Structure 1
Amino acid sequence: MSRRSASRAKDAPAIRLRSPAQIVAAIPYLVGFHPSESLVAVGLGSEAPRVCLTVRVDLPPADCSHPLAQLLATHLRHAEAGGVFLVIFTEETGEPPRPDLVTALEEATGEMGIEVRDALWVRSGRWRSYRCRAPQCCPPGGTPVDAGQVSELAAAAAFLGDVVHGSREDLERALEPVGPLARAALDQTFERVRRQFMSELPGRGRDVVGAESRALLMAAVQARAESAAELSAAEVARLALGLSDVLVRDSALTWAGTDLEHAAEAVWVELVRKATSPYDAPAATLLAVHAYLRGNGAYARIALDRALASDPAYSFALLLVEGLDRGVPPKALRAALTRNGRAA
């Protein structure tokens, strides 16, 4: 999700989701946009009823229901989910729609010991349960999706500067490069800063320049934590050049999951949109790591698509794509980054 401000995560209220109505209302906040023609699985941890993984996929053709169900169940198992809410968003006809997909998902998750807490569908702003037919709680006409069910979550999102986009396409557009006029000015500044950077590098040495890059990044993140002021063109160029050093980039990973997480994400988003290609790829990949560690695979993939569109050979982005494809859980990624000294 794009970030407008960067308040400290530790001050945000803890949010608990207890009912199907709350799960349905919370999904746009969990994936960053309002899904359509989608399947969303909200996995809950086996040891504590917290959201451990949120997966959104386009609704598959009928003949792909079983392969998708197996893949999704595998991802949930890798995330050590003990339970899952399944929610289908569709305007397709049928009462209920896509029962084949729900049955395949129930069978696949059941084989792996994952309990389906409920299976729901949302159509025209109203939700219904595949399982419950009691009119007092699940009326035949459905129940309106009520954002008030998650007013605390909405308040927390506003507190942290999170934006819920209208669609996946809107979320993708939030990471699109700036327009051509701004692009030309940024590229001109970048070339000037790059020439100066490269001319100074041999004399000063990589260690000194790297330390300066880390200090500049820290200053930018701390400034964003206090203010939504944007970076100057020269700052965009210098920070992007700094992140081209793998050691500097890896040091920036330590902000994921900390008080400065949202401030760092705001800086990454700005660099993704403004840095000259392919120097925007490291920032896009850092953004993907933040989303991945939160269990938001949808946003992680969008950020990785953006990174690889800029630099198709960017190895860290390719590694993260492989991890997502294999269903590597967020905590396993965090452990791997920690072992390699890349994250706290």
Structure 2
Amino acid sequence: MTTTIRLRGPADIITVLPYHLGYRPAESLVVVCLTRNRIGVVGRIDLPPPDVDPDLVAVELLPVVRRERPDAVVLVGFESTRGQAEPASMAMRDAIESAGIRVVERLVVRGGRWWSLDCDRDCCPAEGEPVQTDDEVPAVSDYIVRGRRPAESRADLAARLTHRPEPAQDRRCAAFVNDLATARRSRSALQRRRRRILQDWARILDLTPSGPDAVAAPPPRDDEAWAWAVVSLLDVAVRDLLIAWLCPGTLELDVFPASLRRLAESVLPSRPAGPARDTRTASVVEDGVDDTVDDRVDDRVEDGVEDGVEDGVDDTGEDRIEDGVEDTVGEALVDRLAMVCRAAPRELSPGPLTVLAHVVWWQGDGALARTALDRALAVDPDYRLAALLERMVDVAARPRATA
């Protein structure tokens, strides 16, 4: 279910952008694509240092914009010093317009104020307008009700997935690794173990509504279900089945052994509904960046995708903008998977991180997907499923297009 939220103009866009990206951007250029009066891709890239060609920003972002084929684009620069975002913003504007796409607004945010860079009317004060606080934008409360709270930075976003050592659970994980290895020696033993594993996953994924804005509580932190959830993802069939179950349309269930499929259907909770929108994800674009520049320009483009900006200026001159947010259940699912990631010792973390990355990519949260994949591949650069998803995110593949 998606709820439509009305935004009132550029000032509201600036305030809600962190809720799209999942964290509050700093020293960044954000590109908001508008298609048929709705937001498509919302991409972010670090501002390049002064001695780096700003056209590299366009090299990175323009392919994403072209693939999106929006009707119009809004550019928002977040800077710490005056003029810092202007070169990248201008380069991006020129590249987008050369591709025949209209840039309807260029904004810059600095020191708690914002300016319209191309406005030549008397309506824009030289000292800028104050950035609205979250409580001044009615739409923010709708995000918060549905569990959307942006991290203060990318580092804080990563902390959501960072292992929190608990000696008892870590010992359980080590013991369960041996238990699973033993079960694999017998088909019947493996089937029994898989049943136990999926029962524990069912407890973790139980999102039965317990109120208008709440779902059932997860198992306690010291429950061994968390350790089994972590270790279970060493079983590739279970891992891939969970991804297919949680991301309908990405992989058909009939590709799995009938015994495992029947087990999932009898044990796991109902599969989530697909995203109400045509999900568009463009989390990372790395093509076209010279290796000598990689250390100086963050060439990752992160995507927070929501449907819903209805952008059009009405007869009174007021921007009419509408935004849609996913319901509480989608957010709760991500929270549960993040808890599994935090329960995973470092050497076992690629599986949980990759499952979470698939789910949030399927939902349209490219920033968290990219964060999870970075962490998974830092532990195991050869983890093939993470590398495959990383490439799909790189080329802005859409989940339903890959089914």
Shared fold (TM-score, shorter chain, > 0.5) = yes
Pairing partner for 1:39 from 24, 29, 36: 29
Q: CA 1:323–1:40 in structure 2 vs 1: closer, same or farther (change >3 Å)?
A: same
The aligned counterpart of 1:189 is 172
How far apart are the structure 2 equivalents of 1:77 and 1:205?
A: 52
How far apart are the structure 2 equivalents of 1:77 and 1:293?
A: 21
Q: How much has 1:178 moved relative to structure 2?
A: 0.9
Q: Does 1:121 align with 2:72?
A: no
Q: Which runs of 5+ in 2 are unaligned?
A: 209-214, 249-271, 274-328
The aligned counterpart of 2:79 is 90
Q: How much has 1:98 moved relative to structure 2?
A: 3.4
The aligned counterpart of 2:347 is 278
How far apart are the structure 1 equivalents of 2:67 and 2:221?
A: 39
Number of matched pairs:
315
Maintained 8 Å contact 1:54/1:297: no
Pairing partner for 1:27 from 17, 23, 27: 17
Q: Does 1:255 align with 2:241?
A: no
How far apart are the structure 1 equivalents of 2:374 and 2:334?
A: 17
Q: Which runs of 5+ in 1 are unaligned?
A: 1-9, 339-344
Pairing partner for 1:49 from 34, 37, 45: 37
Give the SS at the match of 2:205. helix
Q: How much has 1:89 moved relative to structure 2?
A: 0.6
The aligned counterpart of 2:98 is 111
Q: CA 1:290–1:64 in structure 2 vs 1: closer, same or farther (change >3 Å)?
A: farther
The aligned counterpart of 2:66 is 77
Q: CA 1:245–1:80 in structure 2 vs 1: closer, same or farther (change >3 Å)?
A: farther
How far apart are the structure 2 equivalents of 1:83 and 1:149?
A: 27
State, as a whole percentage, how many aligned pairs show the same letter: 29
Q: CA 1:114–1:205 in structure 2 vs 1: closer, same or farther (change >3 Å)?
A: farther
TM-score normalised to structure 1 length: 0.82
How far apart are the structure 2 equivalents of 1:229 and 1:64?
A: 51
How far apart are the structure 2 equivalents of 1:294 and 1:67?
A: 29
Q: Does 1:335 align with 2:401?
A: yes
Q: CA 1:196–1:265 in structure 2 vs 1: closer, same or farther (change >3 Å)?
A: same
Maintained 8 Å contact 1:22/1:150: yes
Pairing partner for 1:162 from 131, 140, 148: 148
Maintained 8 Å contact 2:54/2:87: yes
Give the SS at the match of 2:108. strand
Q: How much has 1:197 moved relative to structure 2?
A: 2.8
Q: Does 1:217 align with 2:212?
A: no
How far apart are the structure 2 equivalents of 1:177 and 1:30?
A: 25
1:20-53 deviations in Å (ceiling 9; x for gaps): 11211111101111111111112223xx322221
Give the SS at the match of 1:187. helix
The aligned counterpart of 2:357 is 288
The aligned counterpart of 2:324 is none
The aligned counterpart of 1:171 is 157
